[in-house]
């Protein structure tokens, strides 16, 4: 396998751009976890990291290995397929767990006569 320095500039520039873009999007997704207020908003932050962030990095990986080994390397397509098939399920499960937790808290509060404001 050849190193990154042997790549010509027309290949290195798009790969570097994609990597930087993917990294930026992932950072923004993580920033969302910090900045957003409640649980239901925070679940939307990582969604951009797993779609556009992972997509850009995998595209860069495909380009880099295809060009540096001069053969078609596309098994990253499988990674993105598996991510796109499993991540939605996880998001749905976490969301429903959150909703049921809130519903239970609310009914417990109603049961004990505690009238502090529900969220």
Partner 1 sequence: MKRWLPSPALSVSLMLMWLMLNGSVEPAHWLLGGVLGIVAPLLSRPLQPHGYAVLRKPMALVRLLCFSAIEIVRSCINVSQIILMRRAVRVNSQFIRVPLDLRSPHGLALLSCLINTTPGTVWVDLLPAKHELLLHVFDLHSEAWWVETIKTRYERPIMEVFEHPVSRGELS
Nearer to partner 1, 85 or 113 (CB): 85
Instruction: Note the residue count of the chain.
Output: 119
Judged by DSSP in three states, 45 sits in: helix
How far apart CA 23 and CA 57 sit, in angstroms, is 8
Nearer to partner 1, 2 or 41 (CB): 41
CA distances to 48, 68, 88 from 57, in Å: 13, 16, 19
Residues of the shown chain interacting with partner 1 in the complex, contacts defined by CB under 8 A:
25, 28-29, 31-32, 35-38, 40-41, 43-45, 47-48, 51-52, 72-75, 77-78, 84-85, 87-89, 91-92, 95-96, 99
Nearer to partner 1, 39 or 109 (CB): 39
């Amino acid at each position: 396998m050849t190193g990154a320095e042997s790549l010509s500039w027309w290949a290195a520039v798009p790969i570097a751009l994609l990597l930087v873009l993917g990294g930026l999007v992932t950072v923004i997704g993580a920033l969302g976890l910090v900045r957003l207020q409640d649980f239901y908003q925070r679940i939307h932050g990582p969604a951009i990291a797993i779609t556009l962030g992972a997509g850009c990095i995998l595209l860069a990986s495909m380009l880099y290995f295809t060009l540096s080994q001069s053969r078609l390397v596309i098994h990253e397509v499988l990674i993105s397929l598996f991510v796109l098939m499993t991540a939605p399920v996880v998001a749905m499960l976490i969301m429903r767990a959150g909703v049921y937790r809130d519903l239970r808290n609310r009914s417990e509060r109603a049961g004990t006569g505690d009238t502090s404001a529900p969220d």
